[in-house]
Amino acid sequence: MTDALSHVDAEGRPRMVDVGGKHVTRREACAEAQVVFPSAVAETLRAQRLRSAKGAVLDTAVVAGTLAAKRTHELIPFCHPLPIEKIAFEHHWAGADTLRLRCTVAAVAKTGVEMEALVGVQVAAATVYDMCKALSHVIRIEGVAVVAKSGGRDDFDHRGAA
């Protein structure tokens, strides 16, 4: 790990990182978020196969998350536009009241796709909230993190960790 911030120049001003000297490799990152529901809401969603009055909760979340991941460079000032080749979402119930979402993004590029995975999973989680808020406003989004990355420096995979 380096002590220098890559998005700050020698005078302390913000800058976009110059990736011109980096090698092109396949980069992949996975980010996750948990959507925590009140027990009664989780029971209702399970019974309705993750459909709400607004429609198919997960299908809508996947579309929203995909659109967001593709536009990350428009949202985060120093992100490079990337030739994204893959955006995939997974979900599963991680306990009675917690829905775990994961977004995996891949590109063949000179820089990683962690931000795209993070933006994708956060917008997907916010969309789940939006699709379900008529049932409760006590829904929480928690535990947003990059859980795996490969293809660059400092690769890791914490998807099996608790």
Question: Using an 8 Å Cβ cutoff, are 108 and 28 in contact?
Answer: no
Q: Residues 3, 18, 59, 130: which is the catalytic one?
A: 130
Instruction: Give the Å distances, CA to CA, from 85 to 45, 57, 65, 105, 113.
Output: 32, 25, 15, 8, 11
Give the side-chain half-sphere CA count within 13 A for 73.
11
130 is catalytic: yes
Residue type, 86: K
Closest CA to 39 of 105, 100, 125, 97: 97
Name the pairing type of β-strands 156-157 and 84-93: unpaired
DSSP string, 15-54: -----TTSPPEEEEEEEEEEEE--HHHHHHHHHTTSEETT
Instruction: Give the integer Cα–Cα distance in Å for 134 and 121.
Output: 21
Which residues carry out catalysis? 130
